[in-house]
């Protein structure tokens, strides 16, 4: 009997919902007629009808579990029909197209031959261009894009969504982060996308990718955050990417990754693809790193200077974790500590494992590098450290990287394999600028002039000159003296990416 009553009750509720306002009007008590009033419409809730239908049919299908606070599945047809259009209209005007161009000389089989160059001249130059995207993050005209979009460019132009075109100035570029900051000037403030907190992202959050894929024009794609803290994807030395399945293609580089509140949470940087097109695996640089780089450019720096704590780190392998009694290989192993540096003063020692920074767990060494890079100089950071089997907490205050005793850069001229290079003694600050380890020493190549003897022989920035004609090189002045000697036979040793390369040639 109770089951029948429950069935009748559910049927009555279902019928009232389905019938809408007509039942209420027919069963209402008579009232005195005054001015005609429109009966309030009863908003149909298709979600409720579906639930009642399931109950009336006696379905054994369990109800879905309650969603976490702030996030839930769509409930009914009305929510499924929602659109991203208002969000796109708000943010798309701040996403721009970036055009980079450079003059390159065509390759010639007679290049370097004085006889043929005398009669036929040098090979003609041609224009080489690249296309990408960028994001306006400041009304004054600050644009953030990828370094690889403007690499070696002689001229960089920016086109806004309203059709205007500007010649930009490169304020900052950092190859290790694959980020660059441009500046354009206009007669009125530019639209911007507010920079959000990328640490607030969770896997499964909805995001939009806005850019200029294949040069077809501004395009918006949607997806979710597929993963966080991706590393070793082969794009740059940076190892903390947001992964998304929002379609990203060539030309999207430097474009915006937007969350559902209209904030910038990443700069689209790379894709994983076998065909050159999107297969749903794209990567973006987190906005917290973008904010730090943009602030450095506003302060007048031409590269991003990371806070210095005077320590280097290595990954925690499964073997190391087992040896240290750890249940899993997490954190970052302290490999070396600089004497009198902030880490040494805080009590950090080689062999310690950093488990968290400011309460955020460190999954791997690249995650620690990202967290350290976004710290503020002079602001203490709290590290949870595993030291000799015991966990402890220490406080480290980052500082600017030391500059070293000698900061002069020497340009090598004359007729030698090093002509056209600019070299300097390595200090922690210069090493960081070049993307080398802060404990590296020696004489490093800072830049190489285009079409110079050094460039034709393949010398590159970040190369460290160790020896020339049997003499060790420890200062830029020694290299300058060695390069000025009158000889046609050259033997020298250069260190590149940790490997020694020995060359012997007649020049």
Residues in the chain: 507
Question: Helix, strand or coil for residue 121?
Answer: coil
Largest CA distance in the chain: 116
Residue 412 burial (C-beta neighbours within 10 Å; 0-12, 13-18, 19+)? buried
Radius of gyration of the chain (CA): 31
In angstroms, the CA 435 to CA 427 distance is 12
Cβ–Cβ < 8 Å for 307, 376: yes
DSSP 495-506: EETTEEEEEEEE
Residue 17 burial (C-beta neighbours within 10 Å; 0-12, 13-18, 19+)? middle
In angstroms, the CA 490 to CA 48 distance is 85
Residues belonging to the active site: 148, 178, 253
Beta-bridge partners for 390: 387
In angstroms, the CA 341 to CA 364 distance is 23
Could you count the other beta carbons within 10 Å of the beta carbon of residue 385?
Answer: 21
CA-nearest of 313, 357, 369, 370 to 198 is: 370
In angstroms, the CA 241 to CA 195 distance is 16
Distances (CA, A) of 183 to 66, 195, 252: 48, 17, 20
Question: Helix, strand or coil for residue 49?
Answer: helix
Q: Residue 208: which H helix or E strand, with range?
A: strand 206-211
Question: Helix, strand or coil for residue 290?
Answer: helix
Residue 117 burial (C-beta neighbours within 10 Å; 0-12, 13-18, 19+)? middle
DSSP 358-374: TTEE--SHHHHHHHHHT
């Amino acid at each position: 009997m109770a089951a029948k009553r429950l069935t009748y009750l559910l049927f009555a509720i279902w019928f009232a919902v389905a019938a809408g306002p007509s039942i209420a009007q027919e069963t209402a008590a008579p009232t005195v007629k005054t001015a005609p009033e429109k009966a309030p419409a009863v908003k149909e809730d298709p979600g409720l009808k579906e639930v009642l239908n399931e109950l009336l049919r006696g379905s054994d299908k369990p109800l879905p579990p309650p969603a976490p606070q702030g996030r839930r599945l769509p409930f009914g047809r009305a929510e499924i029909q929602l659109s991203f259009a208002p969000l796109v209209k708000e943010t798309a005007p701040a996403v721009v197209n970036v055009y980079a161009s450079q003059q390159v000389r065509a390759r010639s089989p007679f290049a370097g031959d004085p006889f043929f160059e005398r009669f036929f001249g040098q090979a003609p130059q041609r224009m080489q261009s690249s296309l990408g995207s960028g994001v306006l993050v400041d009304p004054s005209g600050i644009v953030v894009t990828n370094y690889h979009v403007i690499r070696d460019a002689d001229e960089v132009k920016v086109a806004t969504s309203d059709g205007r075109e500007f010649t930009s100035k490169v304020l900052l570029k950092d190859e290790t982060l694959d980020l660059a900051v441009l500046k354009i000037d206009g007669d009125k403030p530019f639209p911007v996308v507010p920079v959000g907190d990328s640490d607030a992202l969770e896997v499964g959050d909805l995001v939009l990718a806005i850019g200029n894929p294949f040069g077809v024009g501004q395009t918006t794609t949607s997806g979710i955050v597929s993963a966080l803290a991706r590393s070793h994807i082969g794009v740059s030395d940076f190892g903390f990417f947001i992964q998304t399945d929002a379609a990203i293609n060539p030309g999207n580089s430097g474009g915006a990754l937007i969350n559902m509140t209209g904030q910038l949470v990443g700069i689209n940087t790379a894709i994983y693809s076998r065909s050159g097109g999107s297969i749903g695996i794209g990567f973006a640089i987190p906005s917290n790193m973008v904010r730090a780089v943009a602030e450095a450019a506003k302060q007048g720096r031409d590269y991003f200077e990371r806070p210095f704590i005077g320590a280097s780190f290595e990954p925690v392998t499964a073997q190391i974790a087992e040896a240290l009694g750890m249940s899993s290989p997490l954190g970052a192993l302290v490999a070396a500590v600089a004497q009198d540096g902030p880490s040494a003063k805080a009590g950090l020692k080689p062999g310690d494992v950093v488990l968290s920074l400011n309460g955020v767990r460190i999954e791997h060494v690249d995650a620690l590098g990202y967290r350290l890079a976004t710290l503020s100089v002079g602001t203490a950071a709290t590290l949870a450290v595993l030291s000799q089997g015991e966990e402890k907490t220490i406080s480290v205050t980052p500082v600017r990287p030391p500059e070293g005793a000698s900061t002069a850069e020497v340009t090598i001229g004359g007729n030698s394999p090093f002509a056209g290079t600019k070299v300097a003694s390595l200090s922690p600050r210069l090493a960081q600028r070049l993307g080398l380890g802060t404990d590296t020493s020696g004489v490093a190549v800072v830049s190489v002039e285009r079409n110079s003897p050094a460039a034709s022989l393949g010398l590159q920035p970040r190369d460290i000159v160790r020896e020339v004609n049997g003499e060790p090189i420890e200062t830029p002045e020694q290299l300058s003296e060695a390069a000025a000697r009158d000889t046609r036979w050259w033997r020298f040793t250069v260190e590149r990416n940790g490997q020694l390369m020995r060359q012997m040639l007649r020049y």
